[in-house]
Structure 1
Amino acid sequence: MEAVVFDLDGVLVDSEQVWDEVRQAFALAHGGAWTPTATTDMQGMSTPEWADYLVSSVGVQLAPAAASDGVIAGMVERYESGPPVLPGAVSTVRSVAARYPVAIASSSPPVLIRSFLHATGLDELIQVALSSEDAGRGKPAPDVNLLAAAKLGVAAERCYAVEDSTNGLRAALAAGMTVFAVPNEHFPPDPAVLAQVSVLGSIVDLPDALA
């Protein structure tokens, strides 16, 4: 194995709940009605995809571009005091990067990825940090994982991937990567998908698992 590709939301940043809160509040303020599956449906979607979903499935009374701009502005505001980095995430990335090239393949928009890298000082260490906006389809499609591997110059089959959500795990598996799951306790992934990957109790367990 030659490289490690990290997801961001739910793996390095405890942000899945923040995304959910911001999207729900925005949807309700703009004529939408939250559905029971909306939260998990949108996990892994690219920005254009979840913006379309907010309009077509949740009923937000705005154009998709306006919906995405409004939600992202809400996320940027929540990140102003710094992204909610998970305990041990930065030290784990640094430990792994001492042995492997690393990348981030995220469904977050570029502005939030840059915020994370700058706040943690990982911008000098992680040279490949991609949003699904850069790749085309969001997760569970493998596009952003495949692009991250290509940018690293490594075949996807020679990469480990670290994900937390059902759609993220499916994307990494579809890319042909060897997958580790760090399940999100608030939004547990599908047990049938978890059965196909190696499950970690915490992100800090990753370096030993790779060893």
Structure 2
Amino acid sequence: MDAVVFDLDGVLVDSERIWDEVRRGFVAEHGGTWTDEATRAQQGMSTPEWARYLAGLGVDLPPEEIAEQVIKRMAARYQSGPPVIAGGPEVVRAVASAYPVAIASSSPQVLITSFLVATGLENLVKVALSSEKVAKGKPAPDVYLEATRQLGVDPSRCAAVEDTTNGLKSALAAGMTVYAVPNPHFPPDPAVLERTTVLGDLSELPGIMGL
């Protein structure tokens, strides 16, 4: 392996449920209707994509305003610090001792930066990329392809660490070796998991990589 790229939400930050709560509340307040498939459909979407999706649920605001207001609510939830998953920063440090590491996330850049500053990882993580900076969010491979491009490495020689169906599909589509840490609240598709190395816990990653 030449590098390791981590997802953020659900892998290093326990935020998938917070995103879900904030979006659900926002849709309800603005006269929209949440659907059964809305939660999973939005996992991995870039900011412009999920903002348009919420507009399609009946929120009568421009997507740009939807994005701004939802991100403000998320930032408020992060004010006392992002909900870092225990042991996550230590795993990143262990991996970074042997490989260049990056983050490729669907979170907006402001929340990625909040995590890096809160955990003191800003100097270890060589690339921290939001999918709002690429053409398509996950499950498209764009964010992983751009992260590896910025690292200067071939994606086929890189590992990705993901937790949800769309994230796993994204990394697989980029041609990466994929380690899955299945999200317990939103379990990924078993057929997709079969194409990955499944970890019981993120803390297993350094050992599996021989660190």
Structure 2: how far apart are the matches of 1:69 and 1:134?
Answer: 16
CA shift at 1:134, angstroms? 1.3
Query: 2:27 matched to 1:36?
Result: no
Structure 1: how far apart are the matches of 2:99 and 2:136?
Answer: 27
How do 1:1-211 residues align onto structure 2 when only pairs under 5 Å count?
Answer: 1-56=1-56, 58-211=57-210
Equivalent position SS for 2:182: coil
Structure 2: how far apart are the matches of 1:29 and 1:117?
Answer: 32
Equivalent position SS for 2:14: coil
Structure 1: how far apart are the matches of 2:139 and 2:9?
Answer: 14
CA shift at 1:9, angstroms? 0.2
Letter in 2 for 1:20: D
Structure 1: how far apart are the matches of 2:81 and 2:193?
Answer: 31
State the Cα deviation string for residues 120-147 of structure 1 (Å, max 9, x = none): 0000111200000112200000000001
How many residues matched? Answer: 210
Structure 2: how far apart are the matches of 1:59 and 1:163?
Answer: 31
Structure 1: how far apart are the matches of 2:167 and 2:200?
Answer: 17
For structure 1, list consecutive stretches of 5 or more residues without a partner in the other structure.
Answer: none
Show structure 1 runs of 4+ deviating over 6 A.
none
Letter in 2 for 1:161: A
Letter in 2 for 1:4: V
CA shift at 1:209, angstroms? 1.3
Structure 2: how far apart are the matches of 1:210 and 1:7?
Answer: 17
State the Cα deviation string for residues 168-200 of structure 1 (Å, max 9, x = none): 000000000000000110000011101110100
Q: What TM-score results when the alignment is normalised by the length of structure 2?
A: 0.98
CA shift at 1:116, angstroms? 0.3
Letter in 1 for 2:120: G
Q: Aligned-pair RMSD on alpha carbons? A: 0.6
Structure 1: how far apart are the matches of 2:209 and 2:29?
Answer: 45
Structure 2: how far apart are the matches of 1:30 and 1:65?
Answer: 15
Letter in 2 for 1:97: A
